Chains A and B, each alone.
Chain A
Amino acid sequence: MPVPLSIGLATDLSLDWRALIPALEDAAEFVTLTDQFDSGQDALILANWLAGQTQKLGIVAGVALNFAEPFHVSTAIATLDHVTDGRAGLLVQTATGREEAAIGRAPADLTADLEDAVEAIRQLWDSWQDDAIIRDVAAHRFLDADRLHHVNFRGQDFSISGPSITPRPPQGQPVVIGPVAGADLALASLANLTVDGGITADEIVALHHDGLTGWHLIPRAASDLPHLLRLLPQLRRRGVISPPRGGSLRSRLGLSPAPNRFAA
């Protein structure tokens, strides 16, 4: 059975990102942009910059959530989802070690902080009901305030009042990927393979088996990506990967439409 393909790209690969867009659109269901924190581009900025230039690629931006402000992450991913009309995701990362010095803030209890951040971000995405903007000219009301919600999130180390400043994203809940409670998908559940310029289609076909839910191919260096892209037609012909399906990223990952936790 062919399975969906995703490609993992670190934002410090020296790639001509703009030139790559057409090939990535045809290649993969989604890309993950892994933020290296002390090297390369900020993944949220790169993701949104790419987003306006794409038509069907899913874009999952990595963020070191233990250092980021959950409020800003929530609005930046919601914006990515608005720009792509429902193709956005968040890759939950952690930053430890030497990055601490860069930012001047000691990390909290990592696991608890990540789980809190994911929950706060999800609540903020739901803080506007889909029908919150009413544009009632006669009553001169743009909004119905009853359809907006203070999330009043209380975590271990931080709290957030809300609501978000950004209306609910098209997917309701953009896809959250990561090894953390509250995520929709762990990358580890896919068949992960780091590829270099020497790998052949035969080697990948040999690793393919029933029961795989997806391939996640990660070029080791920028120069390995063109080689990886050249292998894809063969991998498709041989029933390993399926062509990108399009539609919302949630639907492509088999996730049902997200209900709003605050809607009556």
Chain B
Amino acid sequence: MKEIILGAQFPGVNNFTIWSHPDAGSQIGFDSFRHLAKTLERGKFDFMFLAEGLRLREQKGRIYEMDVAGRPNTLAIMAALAGVTEGLGFIATLSSTFNDPYVLARQLASFDHLSNGRAGWNVVTSPGPFTGANFRRGDYLPHDQRYDRARDFVDAARTLWAAPGRDFDIDLPHAKLKGHFGFPHGDYRPVIAQAGDSSGGRDFAASHADVIYSRHGSLAEGQAFYRDIQTRLGRNGRAPGSLKILPGAHAILGDTEEEAQHNLREVRLAQVSPRAAIAALEQTWNRDLSAYDPDGPLPEVEPDLETKLSLGRTRLHDDVTETVRKWRALAEAEKLSIRELVIRVTARKHFVGTPAQVAAEIDEYVQSDACDGFVFAPHYVPGGFDSFVDQVIPILQEKGVFRRDYTEGTLRGNLGLTPAPARAA
């Protein structure tokens, strides 16, 4: 039986985070972050995951007001959390586009050193001019070179990590570095993760990453993705299982299955408020749709294919015309209002049921090679994950598919990637 890998994300800047929840706390205070980290450590989670955004999102020329916005510096808050935990790993999302290789590689080495080997880096590439406007070099990197730079960046970082206390001379197109890395001796191998589902992203993961953070909802989709990645690993001369596949997911619990389904409905209605439904539609239509009734039918007007109404978001779909055609067909067939449609088409993978049902389904996904585990996101902070840790984890431990205690002390060890390296004090 495979041991399940579990991570959890501190939820933030997206409409899945319900800031209006009666128990919702601060999105920026250290207490919120510490609460989640301590909860995950109590549940013996492999790691905590943090996303990154380098510019606030805008819509219709204004900063977007409806979702949570505002977050700490990713690496800084994770360093602070590493100081108050002992076994939990950390995977920090950090841009290879708007960082310098030497500075970030050294920061990650410090993070790994101070946390005794619990550092991970989710390597992302960042989009151009909108985000670039916050950085010294601006929009400097052609779109098709984003992964070239990411590769060079990771290669340069690994060269540095392997050379504490030594000189280095790195001559890669996107990383030309020469100097001395005066760092304490030790075994620095931060875990490399990759998120993003493009073919370029998959290839980058297969050649460079230890973990891939994916989005595949159904068992069959997951299994197809899992097989595709094993094939790509083989092409890179890597062993099967050397890249851990961890889709994002959510869990909604109830004392009965009916109660859990009811809870899911409540959560989705809170996530997609009437105003949020219109805003979500505007992101695809690229038009001001504020005059439409969220409980009425889809707008008859066609999407504007020329302008860009929404800035700072990952594009959900490339072909707007085709997407809108599908949505119209779905709304027509099932008589869905705008709000109902948005709830439907923005759904993500949810495990819904009693703790025993959720544990069984998670286990089924892992044992049938749809994935190696999951990265869960609670839907509010700081207590949104307490019940999962208290109710689902013990069942997984009882099944013998999840650890009862940390044994390795490193993130790499938690993930079962290699035997725990001997570390310098």
Contacts and interface: CB of A to CB of B under 8 A. Distances in A.
Interface of A: 12, 14, 17-18, 36, 38-42, 44-46, 48-53, 67-72, 75-76, 78-80, 82-83, 85, 98-99, 101-105, 128, 132-133, 135, 137, 139-145, 148, 157-163, 165-167
Given A82-B30, A142-B69, A51 B83 contact: yes
Contacts of B276: 140
Contact of A165 (B70, B106, B114, B184): B70
A72 B75 CA distance: 10
Interface of B: 19-20, 28-30, 34, 53-56, 62-73, 75-77, 79-84, 98-103, 106-107, 109-111, 113-115, 133-138, 175-184, 273-276
A165 B56 contact: yes
B62 A137 contact: no
A161 B55 contact: yes
Closest 4 pairs (CB-CB, A-B): A39-B182, A102-B179, A75-B73, A52-B80
Nearest to B107: A42
Contacts of A45: 75-76, 79, 107, 110-111, 114
B69 A69 contact: no
Contact of B182 (A38, A44, A105, A128): A38
A82 B56 CA distance: 19
A67 B113 CA distance: 23
A83 B80 contact: yes
Given A98-B179, A102-B178, A52 B63 contact: no
13 contacts: A46-B110, A49-B83, A69-B98, A72-B99, A98-B180, A101-B177, A103-B100, A140-B275, A142-B65, A158-B135, A160-B134, A161-B55, A165-B71
B76 A143 contact: no
Contact of B136 (A69, A79, A163): A69
Nearest to A153: B134
A52 B72 CA distance: 14
B54 A105 contact: no
Contacts of A12: 182
B273 A140 contact: yes
Given A45-B110, A82-B29, A75 B72 contact: yes
A39 B69 CA distance: 36
A21 B163 CA distance: 29
Given A52-B81, A102-B179, 17 more contacts: A40-B182, A45-B76, A45-B111, A67-B103, A72-B73, A75-B73, A79-B80, A101-B177, A103-B177, A104-B102, A133-B70, A158-B136, A160-B135, A161-B134, A163-B56, A165-B56, A166-B71
A16 to B, nearest CB: 9
Contacts of A82: 28-30, 72
Nearest to B275: A140
Contacts of A140: 20, 66, 273-276
A46 B123 CA distance: 22
A160 B133 contact: yes
Contact of A104 (B29, B111, B176, B180): B176
A103 B138 CA distance: 17
Given A72-B99, A105-B100, A142-B69, A48 B177 contact: no
Contacts of A75: 72-73, 76
A74 to B, nearest CB: 9
A145 B180 contact: no
B28 A167 contact: yes
Given A46-B114, A71-B134, A161-B133, A143 B69 contact: yes
Given A38-B181, A141-B66, A51 B28 contact: no
Contacts of B176: 104
A233 B249 CA distance: 55
A51 to B, nearest CB: 5
A40 B183 contact: yes
Contacts of B82: 49
A44 B104 CA distance: 11
A128 B82 CA distance: 27
A100 B320 CA distance: 46
Contacts of A142: 19, 65-69
A103 B70 contact: no
B320 to A, nearest CB: 25
A122 B270 CA distance: 37
A39 B180 contact: yes
A110 to B, nearest CB: 15
A38 B103 contact: no
Contacts of B83: 18, 48-53
B164 to A, nearest CB: 10
B171 to A, nearest CB: 10
A148 B178 contact: no
A68 B75 CA distance: 15
Given A102-B179, A165-B55, A69 B99 contact: yes
A122 to B, nearest CB: 15
B66 A52 contact: no
Given A133-B70, A161-B134, A14 B184 contact: yes
Contact of A162 (B28, B67, B80, B134): B134
B107 A79 contact: no
Contacts of A128: 70
Nearest to A128: B70
Contacts of A17: 114
B54 A79 contact: no
Contacts of A132: 70
A166 B74 CA distance: 10
B136 A157 contact: yes
A211 to B, nearest CB: 37
Contacts of B138: 158-159
A38 to B, nearest CB: 5
Nearest to A162: B134
Nearest to B106: A42
Contacts of A79: 72-73, 76-77, 80
A132 B30 CA distance: 19
A38 B184 CA distance: 12
B76 A101 contact: no
A103 B101 CA distance: 7
Contacts of A98: 179-180
A251 B66 CA distance: 35
B102 A103 contact: yes
